[in-house]
Amino acid sequence: MTTQEYLDSVLLAQKLADDGDELKHLRQHREEVDALLLKAFEDSTPTIRYGGSKAKGTMIKDNYDLDVICYFPRDDSDAGESLEEIYNNVKKALEEKYFVEPKTSALRLRSKDANGLHRDFHIDVVPGRYVDGDEGDCYIHQSNGDKSRLKTNLDVHIAHVRESGVIEAIKLLKLWRVRKAIQIKQFVWELLVIKLLEGMADDSLEDQLVHVWEELRDSVDPIAVEDPANPSGNDLSGILSAQWGWLKASADLTLSSIENDGWESVFGKQTTENRSERVNRLTQAASSAAVITKPWADDGA
């Protein structure tokens, strides 16, 4: 198996099937979240939509959190007069069906079901208010940090990642970050990867990954990145600085592992089976399986 085939197999193993249980459950809870918020703010017209890796096309099995944004129009005060009030009122609405864990700007949803108490649903709801009208730039509340609010733009973020030309590298490096337990916000990590791979969209995945790790290993100081939606108003330097030593050490160790033990030392052993072969195998297994009578089922079941 070539390096490219190996990396393709890693990506395939990390792909979430559209009809798989993970995405089915996410969609189910997304519908429940929509219903709760529309009921709680029936006099408002919030924008409720996907953000994060679902919208950017960077979801992987090892880390498939779903961001659901709930932004209110600038002149709509039904959800709250301030960003903090909006944040708290959205939290209260979600608590009707979920345990809600407050994060810096998001609300993490967990189960209230006695059979799976506090089970993580991998869903973050991000409340906010548009700066002007009902689209474009938005302010979101920050529960900690130097500023109580942050200006951002979901569409700019999504476009920046989706149009980078290096989505596959981003997914593999996201997997690497997660497995190395590097505590950097995914969007900041994406910004760093995109910056380091500027002009390399047509290079092989192997070259892209090695280049990123070499840049991390060799850079003494943290590499600066800017939020494309708010370059001067969103300081990201502290996020990278806090983890830079661990990033450098992890990148150095990874490059040494590849040199000494090959790529499987980074992402693990993968099957040589390609996508078509996998589909055929699963189809044949399903068709040849014995049909077991279910005595408890109706005739039409």
Domain ranges of the chain: 3-265
pLDDT tens-digit readout, 220-239: 999 999 999 988 877 788 88
Alpha helices by DSSP H, listed for the chain, are: 3-13, 21-40, 52-56, 83-94, 154-162, 167-179, 186-196, 205-218, 237-241, 244-261, 264-267, 275-288
CATH architecture observed for domain 3-265: 2-Layer Sandwich (3.30)
pLDDT tens-digit readout, 34-90: 999 999 999 998 999 998 898 999 999 998 888 999 999 999 888 999 999 999 999
- Range 207-226 average pLDDT: 96
Instruction: Give me the chain's average pLDDT, please.
Output: 87
Burial of 200 (0-12, 13-18, 19+ CB in 10 A): middle
